[in-house]
Amino acid sequence: MSEPRTYCSIRKGNSEEIRVRLAEHHGAAFVDIRTFALLHSSGGEPVPTRNGVCISRFRLGELIAGLQAIEREGSGL
């Protein structure tokens, strides 16, 4: 498995961030959207948590379409 490549990192408070990464596992590419937390025991480097989702790279278009629909609607809540 190759090292995941981070494409986006979004701060979430003082001790967490959300990372959007492209990774490969057993020859399959997937998008990993995961919360990383800054733990005292990690030596200052954020570590991945269990909070997140992995989807096939081939389903990325569906995710993007959904996010764009949310953006178009604005604050329709």
Residues facing 34 on adjacent strands: 19, 52
Q: For residue 24, what pLDDT band results from cuts at 50, 70 and 90?
A: very high
pLDDT value of residue 76: 65
Q: Which domain holds residue 38?
A: 5-73
Over range 4-27, report the average pLDDT: 94
Is residue 4 within 8 Å of 36, Cβ to Cβ? no
- Look at the chain and report how many structural domains it folds into: 1
pLDDT value of residue 74: 79
How confident is the model over 33-76, as pLDDT tens digits? 999 998 876 677 899 999 999 999 999 999 999 999 999 987 66
The alpha carbon of 64 is separated from its chain's Cα centroid by a whole number of angstroms, namely 13
pLDDT value of residue 53: 96
pLDDT value of residue 2: 75
CATH of the domain at 10: 2.30.31.10
Closest alpha carbon to 59 in 22, 26, 25: 22
